[in-house]
Chain A
Amino acid sequence: MRPDARRYGPRAALALAATLAIAAPSALPAQTAAVPASRGWAIRNVTIVTVTGPRIERGTVVIRNGRIEAAGAEAAPQPGDSVLDGTGLFVYPGLIDAGSRLGLTEIGSVPGGEDQQELGDLNPQDAALTAVNQNSEVIPVTRSNGVTTAITSPRGGLVSGQAALMDLLGWTPQEMAVRAPAAMVMTYPRTGGGGRFARRAQPGAGDQTNRQVLALKGFLGDAKAYADIKARLAAGAPGSLKMNLGMEAMVPVMRGDEPVIFDVETAEQIRGVLALADSFALKVILRGAHEAWRLADTLAARHVPVIVGPITTGVGPDEPYDEIFANPGVLAKAGVTIAFQTNDAHDSRNLPYNAALAEAYGLSADDALKAVTINAARIFGVADRLGSIEAGKEATLIVTDGDPLDARVGPKYVFIRGQLVPFNDRHTRLYEQFRARPRPRPQP
C-alpha cells in the first residue's frame, strides 16, 4: 500500500473537492474530527459486512447526523452528501476492545502518566473515565488501526473500580463515553502456583487467598445490606443511612443494573465467581479466563459472557501449548458469548490479531468478527448503538481493504459517530517527518 494512501485514504476515491479540502493534512490536533457530524456521507460500491445480517456486495452506506441512515444495495445519498468510492473496499463496524487501559497510561515507565491502579483493595468509587487523558497519544494510534471503541478499566486490588466504554474520539472524556460506568471491575483471588496440575503455592498462600475471598464476600455482603437499606428507606421505612461513596457505587451492581467484570484465569476462580454470582445475584462477566473452556457448557447455560484475552500471553508449563489460542473457539462452539480484550493501552490496536490467532485455532471467522464487534456491544448493553452496520446505529465504522483480522491490511477510513477521523497520530506524524529527511549532510 502506498504510504500516503494510508494517511489520507485513496485520493482517487475522494470524489468531491470539498472532501479533499477537509481531508487535508497537518495541524489537526489529535482529538480533532476533520468533518462535522452533520455532514452526510455516502460510501458507494462497497462490500458491507453487516456482522448481524448477510454481507451486501456493491452496496451503499449513507451516514447522516452521526448515524447510519441506510446501508444496503438500495441506499441512496442526498444531494450534497460527500461520496466515497468504495470499490474494492469493505465496510465493517468499528472494532471494540472489551478491556484496555487506554487513557490511563502514557509511557509505561513514567509514573506521572500512570492512573491505572489506586492504592487499597476496595475501590468501587473510583471511575476510570475520570482519569482518561483524552489527549493521550495512544488513543489516535489505536483508532488508526480500526479500534474505535474500548472499555478502559482500572486495575489492582479486589475491587478495582468502574470501567467505562468509550469511543476513541472526543474533546473530553465525557464526550468519548458511550456508557460509564459500564461495569464494576473485580479480581477473584487466585492461589499462586506453578500451573494447573502442579499448583505449588508458597506456604501460606492458600490462607491468604481464603482471607481475600472472605474479604470480597464481606464487602459484597455490606454492599447488599447498604442497597437493601436504601431500597427500604426509599419505600418509606423510617430511619436514615449514612452516605458511603463506595457503597453508593455498588448500589446499581447489587440491583443487577450494572455488571461486574471479574478478572480470572483458572477454572477454580471461575467456580468461585459463579458461587458469588449466586449468593449475591450479580450479573457477571468473566475476563481473561484462559481456563473457561473447562466450564464452557455451564457458562453457556448460565449466559455468562467471557471476555477472552489477551491471548498473546505466555502459557504455564503444564498447559497445552495452544490452550490460550483455542479457548475462545471452544467457548463459542458451546454457545458462550465471547469478546476480546487486549488488557493494554499501547497494544490495543492489535485487538484484531488476538481474534486472528483464535481463528487459527478453532474459532470460526464469523464468531471471530462478532467477538471484536457486536458481542462486545451486547455484553455492555449497547448493541442498539454499536457493533454492526445497521440503519439507525451510530456511524462508528471502518472502511478497509480486507479482513480487519488480517495484519497485512488495514483501515482506509475510520468514522466515529459519523465523523471522518484523519490518520493523524503520533506514528504517522513521525513517519511523515522522517520520511522527508534529506540525505545526511557529509560530516567534516
Chain B
Amino acid sequence: MNRDQLRDGELRGIAVALISVVAAASLAAQQPASFTMPIPPAAHLVAITNATILTVSHGTIPRGTIVIREGKIAAVGADVAVPAGAQVIDATGRYVMPGIIDEHSHSAAEAVNEFSNSVTAEVRMADVIREDMPTIYWQLAGGVTAVNVLHGSANTIGGQNAVLKLRWGLPVDSLLFEGAPPGIKFALGENVKESNFQPGPGRERRYPATRMGVEEVLRDAFTRAVAYRTEWQQYEAARRAVRRGQAEPMPPRRDLQLDALVEVMDGRRLVHAHCYRADEILMLLRVAHDFGFRVASLEHVLEGYKVADEIAAAGTGASTFADFWGYKLEAYDAIPYNAALMTQHGVAVAINSDDDERARRLYQDAAKTMHYGGVSETDALKMITLNPARMLGVENRVGSIDVGKDADLAIFSGHPFAPASRVEMTLVDGRVFFDRTTAPTLEHLMQQLQEQRQHRPAAAATDKGEQ
C-alpha cells in the first residue's frame, strides 16, 4: 500500500492518510533510487520480429514485425521486411501490445495535494515531478509507458496535471509528454468534504462540508472565471479600438487561477474529475454544461454504471478501477461490472491505478473486465491503451500499434491477460527503457550473493541471502 499521500481512491489506511495529508511533505516512501540503469540509445532503426502483435486498433497479427524509425512506428504487419542495419529484437513466442497508459497516477510527484484552499487551479504538478523516483522504473517493468500525474483530490478544483512518458534516466524535463494537452484535476465527494479525517491541529474545517457546497464552489469559481474572461475581452476590444495618440487601456490584473479555468471553458484544458456517486456525477455534468465545457474524464466514477447513459450523452470518458471497493462509504456501491456496463452504454472506459503498485499490474486488472460483464479482449485492451490516450488527448501519438505513432510498446512473455505472463521489455520512443535480461531482478541478486559466497568460503555454509 502506498504510504505517502492521500490518493484519490486510497483511503484504506484512513489514519495514515490523515497524517500524511496534514504533513504533506512526508516522502518517506518515495526515496530516490540508489540504482541507475544505463540510458538506452536513441532508436534510429529497430525491428521487433516474430511477435504476436496486439495492435488494439486493427486486430491481432499472429506472427508479425514492427519496424521503428527515429522512435516512430514505420511499419507493422505480417509481411514487413526487416530493413538492413536495423537493430533486431526477436520476439518469438512473445506478445507485443501498445505501452500501457495509466490514466490516473500520482507517481514521481514530490507533492500531490495543495489542500489549503478549495480552488487551487494555479498549481502545477509539472513543478514537482522527480525523475529519480524508482517507481518510474518499476512501472516500466509492468509495461507502463505513459502516466497522467494528477493533483490529489483534497479540494474541489485542484492543480494542473502533468502527462509523462516514463523515460527513466533522462532529465526531468524529458519526462513530460511533449504536445500533450494541458489538464486539471477536479474532485467531488468525501475527500473534498474532508469526511474521513479531522483537520490537523490548528486548522479549522474548510468549506465545503457537503455535496451542496461542492457544487457551489464549482459554480462560484466558474462565475468568477466568466467575469474575468469578460474583463479581458473588454480590454482586448478597447485596445483594438485605440486610435493613434490615445492612451493605451490598462490591462486587467492577471489571475493565474482564473486563467486555468478560462482555458477549461475555452476547451484548451482537459478536466479530469474525481467522483464516486451518481448524483455528484450528474451535478458535475450539469455544471460543465452550464459553463460550456466538456469533462474529458470522470475519475474513479465508481457509480458511473448507474448513470451510464448520461455520461455517454455528455461525451465524457470514464477512468475507473477494475474492482477496488468498500474502502469508504462512497465506494460501497462500486461493482466490478462498472467498466463493462459503461462500455455497453457507449462510454469510453479506462482502467487506472491511482497507485504506484497497482500500476505494475494494470494488464491483470484490465483482464478482469472480461470476466465481470463480458467485455471483449480488444475492448479490455483499449481500457489501458487507446481509451486513456483519448482522455488525455494524445491518441494521435500513442495507444495503438499503428504506423506513425510513437513506438511505445510492451513486450510480454505470453498474452498480457494470461496468468503466467510477465513483461520482458518496455520501449518508449523505440528506446528500450526496461529489459528483464539486464534488470536488477531477484534472480540476479541471488546470483550475486552466490558468487560472493564462493569468494568467502567461511560464509559458504550460510543460507541463500545470508551475509
Contact = CB atoms under 8 A, between A and B. Distances in A.
Contact of A109 (B329, B336, B374): B329
Interface in B431-467: 439-446, 463-466
B446 A330 contact: yes
B446 A312 contact: no
Given A321-B440, A427-B336, A430-B335, A346 B325 contact: yes
Interface string A356-399: 11011110010000000000000000000000000000000000
Given A109-B328, A407-B368, A430-B333, A294 B465 contact: yes
A409 B441 CA distance: 30
A68 B25 CA distance: 58
A109 B1 contact: no
Interface in B308-364: 309-310, 323-329, 331-333, 335-337, 341, 356-358, 361, 364
The B contact surface, by secondary structure, is loop
Contacts of A327: 442
B29 A314 contact: yes
Contacts of A406: 367, 417-419
A110 B328 CA distance: 7
Given A294-B466, A357-B364, A434-B341, A108 B374 contact: no
Contacts of B463: 294-298
Given A108-B11, A314-B357, A427-B335, A321 B326 contact: no
B205 interface: no
Contacts of A317: 31-34, 134
Contact of A439 (B309, B326, B442, B466): B309
Contacts of B443: 326, 362
A109 B14 contact: yes
Given A3-B374, A320-B440, A321-B137, A109 B190 contact: yes
B464 A409 contact: no
The A contact surface, by secondary structure, is loop
Interface in B1-19: 1-2, 11-12, 14
Interface string A1-39: 111001000000000000000000000000000000000
B260 to A, nearest CB: 30
Contacts of A360: 413, 419-422
B357 A427 contact: no
A434 B11 contact: no
Contact of A107 (B327, B341, B444): B327
A314 B14 CA distance: 18
Contacts of A346: 324-327
B464 A293 contact: yes
B417 A408 contact: yes
A410 interface: yes
Among B14, B195, B323, which residue has the most Cβ atoms of chain A within 10 A? B323
A410 B329 contact: no
B48 interface: no
Contacts of B229: none
Nearest to B328: A109
Contacts of A138: 326
Given A291-B465, A317-B134, A440-B309, A108 B327 contact: yes
B34 A407 contact: no
Nearest to A301: B463
B326 A106 contact: yes
Nearest to A315: B138
Interface in B106-143: 134, 137-138, 141
Interface string B42-60: 0000000000000000000
A110 B329 contact: yes
A198 interface: yes
Contacts of B331: 107
B136 to A, nearest CB: 11
Contacts of A107: 326-329, 331-332
Given A109-B196, A322-B442, A360-B422, A407 B367 contact: yes
Contact of B464 (A3, A294, A357, A440): A294
A194 B31 contact: yes
B305 interface: yes
A353 B442 contact: no
A407 B465 contact: no
A1 B371 contact: yes
A334 B357 CA distance: 27
A323 interface: yes
Contacts of A341: none
A437 interface: yes
Interface string A317-333: 11011110111001000
A240 interface: no
A405 interface: yes
A431 B31 contact: no
A1 B439 CA distance: 38
A408 B14 contact: no
Among A267, A317, A330, A409, which residue has the most Cβ atoms of chain B within 10 A? A317
Nearest to A197: B34
A3 B372 CA distance: 8
A295 B465 contact: yes
Among B190, B332, B364, B420, which residue has the most Cβ atoms of chain A within 10 A? B420
A242 interface: no
Nearest to A2: B374
Nearest to B334: A427
A199 interface: no
A350 interface: yes
A362 B446 CA distance: 14
Nearest to B368: A407
A278 to B, nearest CB: 16
Contact of B465 (A267, A427, A435): A267
Contact of B357 (A110, A291, A312, A345): A312
B306 interface: yes
A244 interface: no
Among B11, B335, B419, which residue has the most Cβ atoms of chain A within 10 A? B419
Nearest to A299: B463
Contacts of A110: 328-329
A312 B1 CA distance: 8
B84 interface: no
A143 to B, nearest CB: 14
Contacts of B329: 107, 109-110
A430 B11 CA distance: 23
Contacts of B332: 107
A269 to B, nearest CB: 14
A97 interface: no
Nearest to A426: B335
A403 interface: yes
Nearest to B413: A360
A370 B325 CA distance: 28
A229 to B, nearest CB: 38
Nearest to A314: B357
Among A320, A322, A349, A361, which residue has the most Cβ atoms of chain B within 10 A? A322
Contacts of B413: 360
B29 A293 contact: no
B424 to A, nearest CB: 11
A254 B326 CA distance: 38
Contacts of B28: 194
B141 A321 contact: yes
A331 to B, nearest CB: 10
Given A295-B466, A406-B419, A431-B373, 8 more contacts: A1-B371, A107-B332, A197-B34, A314-B1, A315-B357, A323-B442, A346-B324, A347-B324
Interface of A: 1-3, 6, 106-110, 138, 194-195, 197-198, 267, 291, 293-298, 312-315, 317-318, 320-323, 325-327, 330, 334, 345-347, 349-350, 353, 356-357, 359-362, 365, 403, 405-410, 426-427, 430-431, 434-435, 437, 439-440
4 closest Cβ pairs, A-B complex: A294-B465, A356-B419, A109-B328, A360-B422
15 contacts: A1-B370, A2-B374, A6-B371, A110-B328, A197-B34, A291-B465, A293-B464, A312-B358, A313-B357, A321-B138, A321-B439, A330-B442, A334-B464, A360-B421, A440-B309
